[in-house]
Amino acid sequence: MTLPILIVGAGIAGLTLALELASRNIPTRVIERAPILKDIGAGLQLPPNASRILDRHPGIAEALDAVSTQPEALRFIDGRTGSSIARMPLGEAALTRWGAPYRVIHRASLQRVLLEAVQGAGIHVKPRTELIGLSDGAGGLTAQVRIDDQMEIMEAAAIVGADGLHSNVRQLIAPDSHPRYTGHTAWRAIIDTRSLPSAPRVVETGLWLGPQAHLVHYPISGGEHLNMVAITRGGENDTDPEALKQAFASWCPQAKALVHRARDWKPWPLFERDGRGLWGHGRVTLLGDAAHAMLPHLAQGAAQAIEDAGVLAAKLAGNPGNPGLALRYYEHDRRSRAVAVQAQSRRNGQIYQLSRPASLARNTVLRVSGANRLMARVDWLYAADAL
C-alpha cells in the first residue's frame, strides 16, 4: 500500500489498530476529534484474550505491568447477605491456564501505554481533527476533515471507524443506524483505598449479585484505588445518585457502605449495537464499539476491540492490493465472535440480577461448580487467540 490506512478515533480500538498495522509496516494515519487522553471511564479489565494480543509487541507487557494489577481471583458475593458464594482463581492460575495475564487497569493508563507505543513506531496522532465526510469512488478514497476551523482532504487506502458508540464514520455510511438503550445504567466511581476502614488484604475482583442490580469492584493504580461499577435498571435519564442508593437499599451493610463511600458517581446509560448489522462497505469498516457496542457484564468491551484490531491488521497485511476485500474478510471472521460475546454479556446481566427464588438456585450452582469448572466456562473466551 502506498496510501495510508486512515484510523478515525484514538481510543483503545484505534491505537491498538495503529500499533498492529505499524508492526506489519502498513502506513497509517490516526485522527481524533477530541484532545487525546481525557481522563474518563475509570477502570477496565484486560482479560487474557486481550493481553495475548497486546503482549506480542515489544515492551508492551512490561509497560502494562507497571501500571496495572493482576487480581488473584474473581469472587462472587451475595449482595443481600454479604457472604462469599464462589471464587474463580486468576493471577498465576490465569497465566497457567490461558497463557496470558488477567489485568485490571485505569483506562487512561492503558491509552497512554498504547499512545506512547504508537508514537514510538513513528505514527503521528492528530488531535482536534474531525471527519465530516468521505468519498469512495472510482477517483479514489478520500476523507474530508476539519482541523480546528480549517478543512482538509486526506487520501487513504481504507478508512476505519474506531470512534466509539456514536461513530461519525458509521453515520456517514449508515445514517439511519442508531444504538439501542438496554434499560441498564453503569454508575462508575473510584475510591481511595486509604479511606476504607479496612482495605482488602487480598487483591481480588469482587462481583456482588443482587435483585435488579449488581456491583463490581477491583483495584487499580497499584492498589491505591478501588474502581467501582454499579449496574442498575431504569430509564435512560435516571441519573440521580439517590436512585442509585435506593437500588441498593435492601443490600447488606458492607455493600451499602461501599456505595455510600464513593462520592462522585458518574452515570453511563448502556447501549448496544447489534453485531449482526452493517460493519462497512467498500473501503470503509468499523471497529470496536462503532461496530458492536456491548454490555459490560462479561468485561469484554475493550478486549473485543483489541481482537478486532489484531484481525483487521492481519487481513490488510494479507491482502495489500485489495483493502476492500481485506475489510470484508475481517468482518466475516469477527462477526460471529462479537455476536456470541454480546449474547453472553446479556445473559450474565440477567443472571447477576436474579431475585429469589431463582437467585438461590444460581448461588447453589456457583457454590458446587468449584474453581476448575468456573474457569472452564470461560475457556472459549480467554483461551481464544484471535490471530
Beta strands in 223-320 (DSSP E): 225-233, 266-272, 280-281, 284-286
Rounded Cα distance, 112 and 284, in Å: 27
3-state secondary structure of 251: coil
Cell of 124: 503521528
Beta strands in the chain (DSSP E): 5-8, 28-31, 43-46, 68-69, 73-78, 84-89, 103-106, 125-126, 129-137, 140-147, 150-156, 158-161, 180-192, 204-210, 213-220, 225-233, 266-272, 280-281, 284-286
- In contact, 325 and 347? CB cutoff 8 Å: no
CA 252 remoteness from chain centre: 30
The residue from 102, 181, 218, 330 that is catalytic is 218
Number of CB atoms found within 10 A of residue 67's CB: 17
Task: Confirm whether 218 is a catalytic residue.
Answer: yes
Rounded Cα distance, 175 and 135, in Å: 15
Cell of 295: 454490555
Number of CB atoms found within 10 A of residue 144's CB: 15
- Residue closest to 288 by CA, chosen among 276, 300, 297, 299: 300
- In contact, 324 and 340? CB cutoff 8 Å: no
> Beta strand pairing status for 73-78 and 84-89?
antiparallel
Q: Which active-site residues does the annotation give?
A: 218
